[in-house]
Amino acid sequence: MRALLVVNPAATTTSARRRDVLIHALASEMKLEAVTTEYRGHARDLGRQAADSDDIDLVVALGGDGTVNEVVNGLLHAGPALERLPGLAVVPGGSTNVFARALGLPNDPVEATGALLDALREGRERVVGLGLTSGTPGTEDEAVPDRWFTFNAGLGFDAGVVGRVEQQREQGKKSTHALYVRQVIRQFLGEPNRRHGSITLERPGEDPIADLVVAIVSNTSPWTYLGNRPMYTSPKASFDTGVDVLGLSRLSTAAVARYGTQLLTSSPERGPHGKHVVSLHDQDRFTLHSKVPLPLQMDGDHLGLRTSVTFTGVRRALRVIV
């Protein structure tokens, strides 16, 4: 097997020595080319080259969820093609690693490498669905390029938190769960639309759902992790279905306390609930419009401000080695 290993040297939980050990372990089982990313978007470019190559069977992403997202977007730059495209494998190296953990992989990169090698020897793989965003025709965002996400996307409050975290990291702060909690509080205190939301969700053949403050789109469950604690916004979300949506129409102090508690105590059976909660399961296509530009995040990466985003749940999009 010929494989391309995409290595993010800034991955939070892997040192240079540990990465060398992992590379040698993988190279013992396959013909491996390891490339270290040098700029934002490099992993996407490498994934695209692998997709267009005739002799790459597998792409292994060694890094966090952002690295995985870039590789996936490169692999699928021309759309899904299960029989033609290389498979994907993940060795988690970030601070949270939602996609890898949702696939059932160990969060430790050494253990995950061992699990990957076992899966390759036994021929185990899984075909997963993904989420796709695109610019909405007839809006100012219609020319925005399509982009895939593996586990979640969000418009509004949660994307604002992601943007704040990225700003802190650019200033040299480490990506920790405490950092995220602090930015949640700051985002809440600075949120201008927390009582009267600006987002409208539109679906073909259905009445629109208006005045949402935040909309979180999930392609799998859990939504994220706080340390080792999984948090479920859409417990029924699955790689085998369309995408799920959790919308909140109020973020008052009382509402944040209530929904925060529900998130911390959420389970595979129950997520946030109440009269200001909208929960939709297994959606194939819908659009989020906003009266004002709002931040958008996908797989934990802040992608700027948008006023309209169309989401599609694409089944059977990618082969993953598990």
Please say whether the beta carbons of 312 and 286 come within 8 A. no
Residue 199 has pLDDT above 90, yes or no: yes
34-90 pLDDT tens trace: 999 999 999 999 999 999 999 999 999 999 999 999 999 999 999 999 999 999 999
Calculate what percentage of the chain has a pLDDT beyond 70: 97
Q: What is the C-alpha to C-alpha distance for residues 199 and 196, in angstroms, rounded to an integer?
A: 9
Per-residue confidence band for 14, with pLDDT thresholds at 50, 70 and 90? confident
143-195 pLDDT tens trace: 999 999 999 999 988 888 888 877 777 777 876 767 777 877 777 767 666 56
Q: What is the C-alpha to C-alpha distance for residues 87 and 262, in angstroms, rounded to an integer?
A: 37
Task: Give the predicted TM-score (pTM) of the model.
Answer: 0.93
Higher-pLDDT residue of 274, 15: 274
Assign residue 295 a region (left: φ > 0; alpha: ψ between -120 and 50; beta: otherwise).
Answer: beta
pLDDT attached to residue 160: 85
Q: Which amino acid is at 54?
A: D
262-310 pLDDT tens trace: 999 999 999 999 999 999 999 999 999 999 999 999 999 999 999 999 9
The first and second tokens of residue 194, run together, are 């927390």
pLDDT attached to residue 193: 62
